[in-house]
Amino acid sequence: MEPADDPEHRRAQRFRVFKAGTIEFSGNAIPCTVRNLSASGAALEINSPLWFPDRFTLAIASDGSQRACHIVWRREKRIGVAFEQLPPA
């Protein structure tokens, strides 16, 4: 288990979900499945072997959300991402 995937090291509790998502960067969009989700990050399942950058926007159509994020771990077809902090209002 990766440290970032260990519940002891997470900043916020994650909840198991099964939502369609899209990894968006530079005009490209790669489909993914959001497997768990929290206020600070998510675990994504990728079926495509295509390369994508360490920083991208995760879009979840079912709730209309878009979050800038960066990869904190990779394992075969799964990646863990942390959401970028929103700038202070």
pLDDT digits (tens, 9 = 90+) for 47-87: 877 788 999 999 999 999 999 999 999 998 999 999 998 65
**Domain architecture of the chain: domains with CATH:** 3-83 (2.40.10.220)
User: Is pLDDT above 70 for 89?
Assistant: no
- pLDDT band at residue 17 using 50, 70 and 90 as cut-offs: very high
Mean pLDDT over 8-32 rounds to: 84
- How deeply is 15 buried, as exposed, middle or buried, from its count of CB atoms within 10 A (0-12, 13-18, 19+)? exposed
The predicted pLDDT at position 48 comes to 76
Tokens of 21: 């998502």
User: Is pLDDT above 90 for 20?
Assistant: yes
Q: Which residue has the tokens 């990779």?
A: 74
Count of CB atoms situated within 10 Å of the CB of 32: 25
Count of CB atoms situated within 10 Å of the CB of 13: 10
The predicted pLDDT at position 86 comes to 67
